[in-house]
Protein backbone atom coordinates (compact mmCIF):
# COMPACT_ATOMS: atom_id res chain seq x y z
CA UNK A 1 0.00 0.00 0.00
CA UNK A 2 1.45 3.17 -1.05
CA UNK A 3 0.92 6.40 0.69
CA UNK A 4 -1.92 8.27 -0.82
CA UNK A 5 -1.08 11.63 -2.01
CA UNK A 6 -3.28 14.52 -0.96
CA UNK A 7 -4.66 16.34 -3.92
CA UNK A 8 -3.81 20.00 -3.93
CA UNK A 9 -6.80 22.28 -3.50
CA UNK A 10 -8.06 23.75 -6.70
CA UNK A 11 -6.68 27.20 -7.13
CA UNK A 12 -9.04 30.01 -8.10
CA UNK A 13 -7.71 31.98 -10.96
CA UNK A 14 -7.94 35.76 -10.95
CA UNK A 15 -10.49 35.58 -13.77
CA UNK A 16 -12.76 33.20 -11.79
CA UNK A 17 -12.50 35.39 -8.69
CA UNK A 18 -13.48 38.46 -10.72
CA UNK A 19 -16.46 36.59 -12.20
CA UNK A 20 -17.61 35.54 -8.71
CA UNK A 21 -17.45 39.16 -7.52
CA UNK A 22 -19.45 40.28 -10.57
CA UNK A 23 -22.15 37.69 -9.83
CA UNK A 24 -22.44 38.90 -6.22
CA UNK A 25 -22.57 42.55 -7.33
CA UNK A 26 -25.19 41.65 -9.95
CA UNK A 27 -27.51 39.90 -7.47
CA UNK A 28 -27.01 42.32 -4.56
CA UNK A 29 -29.32 45.09 -5.92
CA UNK A 30 -31.93 42.47 -6.87
CA UNK A 31 -31.90 41.05 -3.32
CA UNK A 32 -32.05 44.55 -1.80
CA UNK A 33 -35.02 45.47 -4.04
CA UNK A 34 -36.81 42.23 -3.12
CA UNK A 35 -36.30 42.96 0.61
CA UNK A 36 -37.61 46.52 0.29
CA UNK A 37 -40.58 45.37 -1.81
CA UNK A 38 -41.46 42.70 0.76
CA UNK A 39 -41.30 45.26 3.59
CA UNK A 40 -43.48 47.75 1.72
CA UNK A 41 -45.92 45.03 0.72
CA UNK A 42 -46.29 43.98 4.37
CA UNK A 43 -46.80 47.62 5.37
CA UNK A 44 -49.61 48.03 2.85
CA UNK A 45 -51.53 45.18 4.45
CA UNK A 46 -51.51 46.91 7.85
CA UNK A 47 -54.43 49.07 8.97
CA UNK A 48 -53.14 52.51 9.98
CA UNK A 49 -55.91 52.75 12.59
CA UNK A 50 -54.49 49.72 14.38
CA UNK A 51 -51.37 51.52 15.54
CA UNK A 52 -51.06 50.47 19.17
CA UNK A 53 -50.92 53.14 21.84
CA UNK A 54 -48.66 52.70 24.84
CA UNK A 55 -51.14 54.81 26.83
CA UNK A 56 -54.09 52.39 26.69
CA UNK A 57 -54.91 51.36 30.27
CA UNK A 58 -52.88 54.23 31.73
CA UNK A 59 -54.03 57.49 33.33
CA UNK A 60 -54.32 60.47 31.01
CA UNK A 61 -51.14 62.56 30.98
CA UNK A 62 -51.03 65.47 33.42
CA UNK A 63 -51.89 68.71 31.62
CA UNK A 64 -53.80 71.96 31.89
CA UNK A 65 -54.86 73.97 28.84
CA UNK A 66 -56.55 77.36 28.58
CA UNK A 67 -59.91 77.56 26.83
CA UNK A 68 -60.21 78.12 23.11
CA UNK A 69 -60.89 81.77 22.32
CA UNK A 70 -64.50 82.66 23.06
CA UNK A 71 -64.99 79.69 25.42
CA UNK A 72 -64.89 79.84 29.20
CA UNK A 73 -63.85 76.29 30.14
CA UNK A 74 -60.34 75.04 29.37
CA UNK A 75 -59.33 71.40 29.70
CA UNK A 76 -57.09 69.62 32.19
CA UNK A 77 -56.39 66.06 33.29
CA UNK A 78 -58.45 66.69 36.46
CA UNK A 79 -61.53 67.35 34.26
CA UNK A 80 -61.35 63.82 32.87
CA UNK A 81 -62.21 62.00 36.08
CA UNK A 82 -65.62 61.12 37.47
CA UNK A 83 -67.45 60.09 34.30
CA UNK A 84 -66.80 58.26 31.05
CA UNK A 85 -66.03 60.77 28.32
CA UNK A 86 -64.51 61.31 24.89
CA UNK A 87 -61.55 63.54 24.09
CA UNK A 88 -61.48 64.62 20.46
CA UNK A 89 -58.28 66.10 19.02
CA UNK A 90 -59.29 68.53 16.27
CA UNK A 91 -58.16 71.59 14.33
CA UNK A 92 -59.86 74.14 12.09
CA UNK A 93 -57.41 73.33 9.28
CA UNK A 94 -58.23 69.60 9.44
CA UNK A 95 -60.56 68.57 6.61
CA UNK A 96 -61.22 65.12 8.14
CA UNK A 97 -62.41 66.87 11.32
CA UNK A 98 -65.27 68.38 9.32
CA UNK A 99 -66.35 64.86 8.33
CA UNK A 100 -66.79 63.65 11.91
CA UNK A 101 -68.03 66.91 13.43
CA UNK A 102 -71.76 66.33 12.70
CA UNK A 103 -71.57 63.02 14.60
CA UNK A 104 -70.16 64.80 17.65
CA UNK A 105 -72.86 67.46 17.35
CA UNK A 106 -75.50 64.69 17.38
CA UNK A 107 -73.86 62.97 20.37
CA UNK A 108 -73.89 66.25 22.26
CA UNK A 109 -77.50 66.99 21.31
CA UNK A 110 -78.61 63.51 22.43
CA UNK A 111 -76.59 63.82 25.67
CA UNK A 112 -75.01 60.41 25.14
CA UNK A 113 -71.51 61.15 26.42
CA UNK A 114 -69.55 64.27 27.39
CA UNK A 115 -67.11 65.25 24.65
CA UNK A 116 -64.06 67.34 25.39
CA UNK A 117 -62.08 69.05 22.64
CA UNK A 118 -58.32 69.31 22.41
CA UNK A 119 -57.65 71.96 19.77
CA UNK A 120 -54.32 71.11 18.12
CA UNK A 121 -51.87 73.72 16.79
CA UNK A 122 -54.53 76.17 15.73
CA UNK A 123 -54.64 79.94 15.59
CA UNK A 124 -57.02 81.12 18.33
CA UNK A 125 -59.29 83.08 15.98
CA UNK A 126 -59.50 80.17 13.50
CA UNK A 127 -60.51 77.68 16.21
CA UNK A 128 -63.17 80.06 17.56
CA UNK A 129 -64.55 80.76 14.07
CA UNK A 130 -64.66 77.03 13.25
CA UNK A 131 -66.63 76.21 16.40
CA UNK A 132 -68.92 79.22 15.94
CA UNK A 133 -69.75 78.23 12.34
CA UNK A 134 -70.02 74.44 12.68
CA UNK A 135 -71.28 74.26 16.26
CA UNK A 136 -69.55 73.46 19.51
CA UNK A 137 -70.21 69.92 20.77
CA UNK A 138 -67.55 70.14 23.48
CA UNK A 139 -68.17 70.43 27.22
CA UNK A 140 -64.63 71.77 27.65
CA UNK A 141 -62.16 72.79 24.98
CA UNK A 142 -58.44 73.20 25.59
CA UNK A 143 -56.20 75.17 23.24
CA UNK A 144 -52.98 73.22 22.62
CA UNK A 145 -51.33 75.90 20.52
CA UNK A 146 -47.84 74.41 20.44
CA UNK A 147 -48.94 70.76 20.32
CA UNK A 148 -47.02 69.69 23.45
CA UNK A 149 -50.05 68.16 25.18
CA UNK A 150 -50.99 66.21 22.05
CA UNK A 151 -47.46 64.79 21.95
CA UNK A 152 -47.88 63.63 25.55
CA UNK A 153 -51.10 61.90 24.47
CA UNK A 154 -49.25 60.13 21.63
CA UNK A 155 -51.21 61.92 18.91
CA UNK A 156 -49.98 61.14 15.39
CA UNK A 157 -52.25 63.65 13.66
CA UNK A 158 -55.76 65.01 13.66
CA UNK A 159 -58.41 63.89 14.15
CA UNK A 160 -57.95 61.37 16.92
CA UNK A 161 -60.51 60.45 19.56
CA UNK A 162 -59.92 58.86 22.95
CA UNK A 163 -62.40 57.09 25.22
CA UNK A 164 -61.65 57.93 28.85
CA UNK A 165 -62.93 55.84 31.76
CA UNK A 166 -64.46 57.45 34.84
CA UNK A 167 -61.12 56.86 36.62
CA UNK A 168 -59.35 59.09 34.08
CA UNK A 169 -57.74 56.14 32.29
CA UNK A 170 -57.37 55.97 28.51
CA UNK A 171 -59.51 53.00 27.43
CA UNK A 172 -59.34 53.37 23.64
CA UNK A 173 -57.72 55.46 20.92
CA UNK A 174 -59.34 55.97 17.52
CA UNK A 175 -57.07 57.32 14.78
CA UNK A 176 -58.71 59.24 11.95
CA UNK A 177 -62.23 60.58 11.57
CA UNK A 178 -64.96 58.78 13.51
CA UNK A 179 -67.65 57.37 11.23
CA UNK A 180 -71.18 56.35 12.17
CA UNK A 181 -70.02 52.73 11.90
CA UNK A 182 -67.07 53.36 14.26
CA UNK A 183 -69.44 55.00 16.69
CA UNK A 184 -72.03 52.20 16.61
CA UNK A 185 -69.66 49.22 16.51
CA UNK A 186 -66.80 50.36 18.75
CA UNK A 187 -67.15 53.60 20.68
CA UNK A 188 -70.72 53.43 22.02
CA UNK A 189 -70.50 49.75 23.10
CA UNK A 190 -67.21 50.51 24.89
CA UNK A 191 -68.74 53.55 26.59
CA UNK A 192 -71.69 51.40 27.75
CA UNK A 193 -69.31 48.73 29.16
CA UNK A 194 -67.22 51.33 30.98
CA UNK A 195 -70.32 52.77 32.65
CA UNK A 196 -71.27 49.42 34.21
Q: What is the pLDDT of residues 123-150, one digit of tens each?
A: 999 999 999 999 999 999 999 999 999 9
Residue with the bigger pLDDT between 168 and 52: it is 168
Q: What is the pLDDT of residues 52-97, one digit of tens each?
A: 667 899 999 999 999 999 999 999 999 999 999 999 999 999 999 9
Is the Cβ–Cβ distance between 124 and 145 less than 8 Å?
yes
| Residues 130-163 as b or e (16 or more Cβ within 10 Å = b) | bbeeeebbbbbbbbbbeeebbeebbbeebbbbbb
Q: How far is CA 42 from CA 13, 28, 156, 176, in A?
A: 43, 21, 21, 21
DSSP secondary structure letter of residue 183: I
**Superfamily the domain 53-195 falls into:** Glutaredoxin (3.40.30.10)
Domain residue extents for the chain: 12-46, 53-195
* Phi, psi for residue 145 in degrees, rounded to 5: -65, -35
Residue with the bigger pLDDT between 23 and 138: it is 138
Which secondary structure element, helix H or strand E, spans residue 150, and what is its range?
helix 148-152
- pLDDT-derived band at 39 (thresholds 50, 70, 90) equals confident
Separation of CA 127 from chain center: 22
- Beta pairing, strands 85-90 & 160-164: antiparallel
In this prediction the pTM is: 0.75
pLDDT of residue 1: 53
Q: How far is CA 106 from CA 18, 25, 136, 137, 146, in A?
A: 73, 62, 11, 8, 29
Amino acid sequence: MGAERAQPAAQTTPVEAANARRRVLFFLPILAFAGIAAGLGWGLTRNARDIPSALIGKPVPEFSLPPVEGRTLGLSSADLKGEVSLVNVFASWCTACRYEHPLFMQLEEDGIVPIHGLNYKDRPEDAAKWLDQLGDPYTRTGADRDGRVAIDWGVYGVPETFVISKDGVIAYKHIGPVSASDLDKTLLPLIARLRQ
